[in-house]
Amino acid sequence: MPEKIIENKNRCRWMDAGVMHFKLCESDFDCLSCQFDWAMTESAKRQIARRLLAGNPAAQTGPWENQMRQPFGEGRK
């Protein structure tokens, strides 16, 4: 079954990055005050630290991490 594309302007940036299958923004894109964004960011930091401790610096970032660095709005694909 083909995956449905969700067209919604309230898509969470974690969903746009491919980390979450479905998550709509509940904070009016105020990520600095969003508890979900805070928890996900902290988890990502711990994941990167574990990779560095494992001696694999080449694997510091993955595709979703690079996507998270993209700007909000129309510039993000």
pLDDT, one tens digit per residue, over 3-38 is 555 566 788 988 888 888 899 999 999 999 999 999
* pTM of the predicted model over 0.85: no
Residue 16 lies in a domain: no
CA angle 48, 51, 15 (to 5 degrees): 40
Range of the domain at 57: 29-69
Residue 53 lies in a domain: yes
Residue 19 lies in a domain: no
Whether 8 and 15 have beta carbons less than 8 Å apart is answered as no
Residue 74 lies in a domain: no
Residue 33 lies in a domain: yes
Position 25 scores a pLDDT of 92
pLDDT, one tens digit per residue, over 31-72 is 999 999 999 989 888 887 887 888 766 555 566 666 666 665
- State the first-to-last Cα distance of the chain, in angstroms, to the nearest integer: 23
Residue 11 lies in a domain: no
Count of structural domains, the chain: 1
Position 51 scores a pLDDT of 78
